Amino acid sequence: MIIRFAGTDYGLREARDAMIKKHVNIGMIGYKFMGKAHSHAYKDVQMFFQPALRPVMKVICGRTRAAVTAAAKQYGWESVETDWRILIQRPDIDIVDISSPGHLHRDQAIAAARAKKHVICEKPLANSLAEARGMLRAVKRAGVAHMVMFNYRRIPAVMLAHEMIRDGELGEIYHYRAFYLQDWIVDKRFPLVWRLEKKFAGSGALGDIGSHIIDLAHFLVGEIDEVCSHLKTFVKQRPLPGRKNKLGRVTVDDAAAFLARFRSGVVGSFEATRFATGRKNYHGFEIYGSKGALIFNFEAMNELHFYSCAEKKERQGFRRILVTEASHPYFNAWWPPGHIIGYEHTFVHAIAEFLNCLAAGRPPSPGFEDGVRCQAVLEAVEQSAHARRWVKVSRV
């Protein structure tokens, strides 16, 4: 596969053969929540999108052979590895998909890039800005394609919002209000899983779900210039899994909130929490501009609420657009209007985009630059929380 990408040629015999067959071989690291979501996307993308390159589910990697073997069988992977370094070196692999916890992203991505593999990486890109920058340098140097899995960009309603803002339908933007509210650890007896430990997860609600709302903000209204934040850990100790009556210290935030100023003058507010009782995956935004407004939340992900000042005053109102028309983003691949889609479809869209970009020699989006950009905000938020004042966001 000789694909000219980001100004660089890269090519291996195997890849060339794949190109002839229009196939690319995927090697995926991780097999739990994200592993399942990504696997499904590879499985379904051909049926609904017929991307220019057809993905082959070649190998899946996990540390525990029995578990990863079961996953491979269930999801439909051809083979398994238990050492990600081996997977990355396999000559039959074109694309490495990193669905592992955050502390492993850096090494895996850099190794993959060095092995001339294209890289898809779960978000947040890394556990620190420095790590993320290193990863970006690696993929650029290697000239491989790269994408960070901010799958929420690929919701049809979010894509529509993006197009509407880009085309000026909202006029000058004034306010961006973002939220990502969950409640899965409200119960104090919920155990100290890896997502609650800084050494594995980097941060808590901030990195896990805050990263999504930061990325959508970048996607929709541009870059954040400065932030003022606070972080909060409501429950400071939790049961250690498998160790009866033993508590361990929670080393990440349960909730993060920050005010933001965008480079464009937009004023923003962001909240990410795992302590919003009753909210399951309440992830969304409100955007107010001089000509209109948009409201979205993921729990009703097929709807975009739009207020337009273009109509006469007596007819204005928030309008629930059911984003399921054939002419809406991605939807003609699916079902007739009103037949809604769900969470995993966002991954199918993202993978279709990646494969089509790869075939066309265009950089997939969002790339590692976007991952770095997000990481810079995450870092500024953490700094602000400690300094208790406004902090500038580092430039990419």
Residues 76-105 that bind its own copies (CB under 8 A): 76
Rounded Cα distance, 72 and 30, in Å: 11
52 in contact with its own copies (CB under 8 A): no
Residue found under tokens 């100790």: 237
DSSP state of 394: P
**Where in 23-42 is the site for its own copies (CB under 8 A)?**
33, 37, 39-40
Q: Candidates 38, 105, 154, 279: give the one binding its own copies (CB under 8 A).
A: 279
**Where in 259-278 is the site for its own copies (CB under 8 A)?**
259, 261, 265, 267, 269, 271, 273, 275-278
Q: Which is nearer to its own copies, 26 or 144 (CB)?
A: 26
Write the binding mask 131 to 160 for its own copies: x where contact by CB under 8 A, - elsewhere: -----------------------------x
292 in contact with its own copies (CB under 8 A): yes
Q: In what order do the strands lie in the sheet with 79-81?
A: 79-81, 54-61, 23-29, 95-98, 118-122, 146-149
114 in contact with its own copies (CB under 8 A): no
Q: Which is nearer to its own copies, 217 or 293 (CB)?
A: 293
The DSSP secondary structure of 64-101, one letter per residue, reads -HHHHHHHHHHHT-SEEES-HHHHHH-TT-SEEEE-S-
Side chain identity at 272, as an amino acid letter? Answer: A
222 in contact with its own copies (CB under 8 A): no
CB of 162 to its own copies, least distance (A): 13
Q: Candidates 299, 360, 362, 386: give the one binding its own copies (CB under 8 A).
A: 299
Q: Which is nearer to its own copies, 7 or 336 (CB)?
A: 336
307 in contact with its own copies (CB under 8 A): yes
CB of 333 to its own copies, least distance (A): 10
Rounded Cα distance, 171 and 178, in Å: 19
Residue found under tokens 């502390």: 103
Using alpha carbons, select from 98, 119, 114, 1 the residue that is nearest to residue 53: 1
Rounded Cα distance, 351 and 209, in Å: 21
Segment lying near its own copies (by CB under 8 A), choices 122-130, 203-211, 304-312, 366-374: 304-312
Q: What size, in residues, is the chain? A: 396
Q: What six digits make up the tokens of 66?
A: 């029995």
CB of 345 to its own copies, least distance (A): 7
CB of 124 to its own copies, least distance (A): 18
| C-alpha triplet 351, 72, 3: angle, nearest 5° | 35
